[in-house]
Structure 1
């Protein structure tokens, strides 16, 4: 359709020009001494138009000729830039493929002719990350130092990568310094807070770990399960710093109830109390956990049994009184029955000890249950039964060893 319109327009223009030329009968006189030239006015108009067109073409040719060297240089720059962008793409693909040597090589190629600061920064970041993956720390630091010359708006990525690399290398002070520089640029950057959380955990600063965990939870940047693990690690570090049972008692009052009832934390507290010689208080904590179906674990029952001989007589009797409520919740818990049997045995309640230990062995025959029964029957002067359980415990020990 456009072609038809163009043709129609050209024919219309030709007709108008033809009509105009028939109406204009004038002429022009040109004096070129000693000559005098008469020319049709229509022909003069056409000649002038042609002269303008020719002059324009000549000037264009002169302009192209004089600008040719610059055009060649521009073409070469575009060619190199195209190659640099291709190398940058190849570096990115190789980096995510895990081919770090190739990624570094392609990133360095991209740096040579790249002009955009953003692309330079990207190439340097990939080169530094790849060098770190290959344990070439000198190259890593060299690439990171080149990022200092780039605009300020690109420095956040540089500091974040520096922090990650220092953290991987267990350089906590260097990582913390990089994190502080990143937070100076973006104070509320959650990824910087996450990195700081890991650094503080490595530095064994539990108070800082707990504060950062709460801050990230409020920002919805940390999953509750992961936050609970960080809290557990922080509380464990705090526990390791206590040297007296009273310190642990005071500390437990400050721990939130939800965390205080964590079975894993209870187990860690019990272990620490045992080391400090606070067996009765450890047994009290275990008893509280065993009375709650959500907190009770087989490990706690096993630890209670191991504490039996280290407890005072009053504490053993107190625990045995609570035994009925525990057994209502878990009547077939063989480890709990074994623990109660050991408590009764240490208290020389032979009948209770025998019933608990035999119940434990009937539910789950274990080496410990038969060994404790052997001790019991030896104590009450029944050598035949003692020998039988000794042999059974020996058989179980051999089976487990094989």
Structure 2
């Protein structure tokens, strides 16, 4: 529709100009001494228009020629920029493909010809990350140093990459310094807190690990199961530094009740108490854990059997009194029955020991239960029964060895 209107307008203008030229009979005199020229006024108007058009064309050509060097430079720069952007895309793809040598090479090509600070910073980060993955620390540090020139708003990414690279290189102090710089820019950045958590774990700073775990858990930045694993690791690190059974008792009381039921914490605590010679406290922790029906607890029952000959007589009797509560929760636990048999035998409660050990054998025949029964029968003067159980234990050993 617009094209039709333009054509109609042009034809109307041509008609109007034709009519105007027939109505205009004037002429113009051009005087160039000693010459004089008379021309139609209409012709003079056309000539002036043509002269203006030619002058404009000449000036336009002069302007284009004068601006040619600038245009060439702009074209070359645009060409380089296009190549730099292409190299940056290739670097990103290569990095996520795991082709770090190509990623570093393409990113280095993009750095010098890129003028946008965001893209330049991205190229430097990819190059630094790739160099770090290739263990080329000199190049990594050089790229990171060049990031000092990028705007302040882009420094957070630089500090985070710096922290990750130094953590991977086991430079814990350098990683922690980079994390502190990142947190100065963004105090509540959860990824920075995660990195700090890993650093504090490697530095064996359990108090800091526990504080960071709770902070991340409240921010929904850590799964509950992950948080529990970090807590267990921190508690175990704390346990290593405790010098006495009394210190362990005080420390154990500060731990939340739900964590004290975790076998992954009970086991190392019991082993540490055994190393320190506090056998009664170790047996008490096992007894508290045996109230649970957690299927991972049989190992603790074996630990109780191992402690039977070391705990005091008073503690053995207290444990045997608690046995009924344990058996209600774990009625078919042959290892718990074996441990109770060992405790009773150490107290010379031969009838109780015999019933526990025979109940253990009825559920699961084991070498240790047969051996314990054999020693019990020797102690009460029944050598034939003792020999029978020694033979049974030998037969089981040969059968399992085969």
Deviations along 1:70-125, whole A, 9 cap, x unmatched? 22222111111111111111111111111111111111121232222222221221
2-side partners of 1:386 and 1:44: how far apart? 141
Query: By how many angstroms is 1:16 displaced?
Result: 2.3
- Give 3-state SS (helix, strand or coil) of 2:170's partner: coil
1-side partners of 2:391 and 2:59: how far apart? 114
Could you list the runs of 5+ residues in structure 1 that have no partner in the other structure?
Answer: none
* Map 1:23-172 → 2, pairs under 5 A: 23-172=23-172
Q: Do 1:290 and 1:296's aligned partners in 2 also have CA atoms closer than 8 Å?
A: no
Deviations along 1:36-90, whole A, 9 cap, x unmatched? 2222222222222222222121112111222222222221111111111111111
2-side partners of 1:322 and 1:25: how far apart? 134
Corresponding position of 1:200 = 200
Whether 1:3 and 2:3 are equivalent positions in the alignment is: yes
- Report the number of matched residues: 402
Could you list the runs of 5+ residues in structure 2 that have no partner in the other structure?
Answer: none
2-side partners of 1:24 and 1:287: how far apart? 125
Q: Do 1:263 and 1:295's aligned partners in 2 also have CA atoms closer than 8 Å?
A: no
Deviations along 1:252-291, whole A, 9 cap, x unmatched? 2222222233332222222221111111111112111212
Deviations along 1:315-353, whole A, 9 cap, x unmatched? 111111111121111111122112112212222222222
- Give 3-state SS (helix, strand or coil) of 1:213's partner: helix
1-side partners of 2:155 and 2:364: how far apart? 63
The change in CA–CA distance for 1:100 and 1:398 in structure 2 (over 3 A counts) is: farther
Most deviating of 89-98 and 381-390: 381-390
The change in CA–CA distance for 1:104 and 1:392 in structure 2 (over 3 A counts) is: farther
Whether 1:354 and 2:354 are equivalent positions in the alignment is: yes
Query: By how many angstroms is 1:8 displaced?
Result: 2.0
Corresponding position of 2:383 = 383
Q: Do 1:31 and 1:37's aligned partners in 2 also have CA atoms closer than 8 Å?
A: yes
2-side partners of 1:260 and 1:295: how far apart? 16
Off by >4 Å, runs of 4+ in structure 1: 398-402
1-side partners of 2:301 and 2:231: how far apart? 24
2-side partners of 1:391 and 1:6: how far apart? 117
Q: Do 1:377 and 1:385's aligned partners in 2 also have CA atoms closer than 8 Å?
A: yes
Corresponding position of 2:232 = 232
2-side partners of 1:380 and 1:277: how far apart? 30
Most deviating of 361-370 and 289-298: 289-298
2-side partners of 1:70 and 1:256: how far apart? 74
The change in CA–CA distance for 1:108 and 1:392 in structure 2 (over 3 A counts) is: farther
Corresponding position of 1:369 = 369
- Give 3-state SS (helix, strand or coil) of 1:38's partner: strand
TM-score (norm 1): 0.94
TM-score (norm 2): 0.94
2-side partners of 1:237 and 1:248: how far apart? 12
